[in-house]
């Protein structure tokens, strides 16, 4: 009985973690804002993040004796070094430090703990769970977005950058909405391509279609890249001819549908992507601010290329993790991070070709593109989840001599 109860608790912990790790967190946050207002968001967000992290730690401790690839320890040291530089800057300078305590907590909660958790879990079990919860949380996010922004949608304003819902943590981020819904769309798309039972379409198709609502509301250029590159690389890497034919058959209709849907909603995400040059000439802040941050990052790198020591540009992270690490932690960690990116891109591609497994590739592409165009290294949760999943998958395959 004790073993059964322990198994149930362990399974509940995993469901909770996988649901709230990304899309599910923002889905419920939308409902919290709708029903309780912005002032209540801290009472939701902090406990959920802490509980999820504690659940991960409990499950990690149970698996801690498992031996992992030596590269795992290099990544862990890499993350701990970043954490150490944050701590030294924050506690060493106090009044003069630009960093907030949030950056330290984010690195632990969004990167270090999830990386450890997914590295130690059994891949075959966590894979199915992660796919199911990504689809479920994506559906919840779509419903939450429609409910929260119904007045905005009715008014004809379909990009929430025009109107941001304030909360103690800022707002229900357009970037979070667009990247989370992009992840759901690609997972549903790949699942449909590999479908074995037609009845699953009853869930997958509505989820995929509804996910275009939060995707259009966020209207992020970067999330459009995640859609494109995730599907492109899956098409290139998948060996099954039938799957390739399905992708070629479905993709044109999906693209036309996306464009029509985007234009009907008025989000113009495709126009924003294709018209970056015009946006720059028109002094659109979504372009000029980002370029200004990157220019300042290069200036900081020139000032201190070896040791770094600068963490923020214009008071915020530079929206490019490669530049952020170079200016913050210096040349050595910059090179190490680039090595990680190329290593995992190469090996995840090989893994996808050999096993026709799309999950790690999709998480990696979303995490990488988000890190390069929109995110920070201390919130690169999807990227480090993909690293952890790869270690988990290769360990499981090795143990089964596959």
pLDDT digits (tens, 9 = 90+) for 57-86: 999 999 988 888 899 999 999 999 999 999
Residue with tokens 């920070």: 376
260 or 277, which is more confident: 260
Which pLDDT value is given to residue 198? 77
Phi, psi (degrees; rounded to nearest 5) at 98: -85, -20
Express each pLDDT in 171-223 by its tens digit.
578 888 999 999 999 999 999 998 877 788 999 999 999 998 888 888 778 88
Identify any residues that bridge with 316 across adjacent strands, giving them in sequence order.
313
Q: Calculate mean pLDDT across residues 363-386.
A: 95
The answer, yes or no, to whether residue 99 has pLDDT greater than 80, is no
Buried (b) or exposed (e) across 109-139, using 16+ Cβ within 10 A? Answer: bbbbbbbbbbbbbebeebbebbbbbbbbbbb
Work out the number of other CB atoms within 10 angstroms of the CB of residue 336. Answer: 17
Q: What pTM was estimated for this model as a whole?
A: 0.92
- Tell me the two tokens of residue 241: 């001819």
- Tell me the two tokens of residue 105: 């907590």
Under 8 Å between Cβ of 185 and 215: yes
Q: How far apart are CA 402 and CA 400, in angstroms?
A: 5
- 52-61, 239-248, 344-353: the lowest-pLDDT one: 239-248
Residue with tokens 């540009």: 313
pLDDT band at 275 (very low <50, low <70, confident <90, very high): low
Q: How far apart are CA 229 and CA 349, in angstroms?
A: 13
| Residue 114 Cα distances to 57, 158, 177, 179, angstroms | 9, 33, 20, 18
- DSSP single-letter state for residue 380: -
Count of residues for the chain? Answer: 402
Phi, psi (degrees; rounded to nearest 5) at 167: -150, 180
Q: Calculate mean pLDDT across residues 350-367.
A: 95
Express each pLDDT in 134-151 by its tens digit.
999 999 999 999 888 887
Q: How far apart are CA 387 and CA 311, in angstroms?
A: 24
């Amino acid at each position: 009985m004790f073993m059964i109860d322990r198994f149930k608790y362990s399974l509940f912990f995993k469901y909770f973690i996988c649901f709230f790790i990304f899309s599910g967190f923002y889905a419920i946050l939308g409902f919290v804002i709708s029903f309780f207002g912005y002032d209540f968001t801290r009472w939701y967000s902090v406990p959920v993040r802490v509980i999820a992290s504690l659940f991960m730690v409990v499950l990690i401790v149970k698996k801690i004796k498992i031996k992992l690839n030596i590269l795992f320890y290099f990544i862990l040291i890499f993350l701990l070094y970043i954490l150490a530089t944050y701590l030294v800057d924050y506690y060493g300078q106090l009044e003069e430090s630009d960093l907030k305590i949030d950056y330290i907590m984010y690195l632990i909660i969004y990167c270090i703990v999830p990386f450890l958790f997914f590295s130690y879990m059994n891949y075959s079990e966590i894979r199915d769970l992660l796919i199911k919860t990504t689809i479920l949380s994506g559906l919840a996010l779509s419903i939450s977005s429609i409910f929260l922004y119904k007045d905005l949608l009715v008014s004809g304003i379909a990009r929430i950058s025009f109107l941001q819902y304030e909360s103690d943590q800022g707002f229900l981020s357009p970037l979070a909405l667009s990247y989370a819904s992009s992840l759901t769309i690609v997972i549903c798309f790949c699942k449909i391509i590999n479908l074995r039972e037609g009845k699953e379409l009853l869930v997958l198709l509505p989820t995929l279609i509804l996910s275009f609502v939060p995707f259009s509301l966020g209207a992020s250029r970067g999330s459009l890249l995640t859609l494109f590159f995730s599907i492109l690389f899956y098409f290139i890497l998948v060996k099954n001819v039938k799957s390739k034919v399905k992708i070629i058959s479905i993709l044109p209709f999906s693209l036309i549908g996306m464009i029509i849907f985007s234009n009907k909603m008025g989000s113009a995400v495709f126009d924003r992507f294709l018209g970056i040059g015009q946006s720059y000439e028109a002094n659109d802040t979504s372009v000029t601010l980002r370029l200004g941050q990157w220019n300042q990052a290069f200036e900081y790198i020139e000032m201190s290329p070896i040791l770094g020591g600068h963490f923020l540009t214009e008071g915020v992270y530079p929206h490019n993790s490669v530049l952020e690490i170079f200016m913050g932690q210096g040349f050595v960690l910059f090179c190490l991070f680039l090595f990680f990116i190329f290593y995992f891109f190469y090996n995840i591609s090989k893994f996808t070709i050999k096993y026709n497994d799309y999950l790690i590739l999709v998480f990696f592409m979303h995490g990488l593109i988000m890190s390069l165009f929109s995110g920070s290294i201390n919130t690169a949760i999807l990227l480090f989840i993909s690293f952890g999943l790869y270690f988990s998958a290769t360990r499981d395959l090795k143990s089964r001599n596959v």
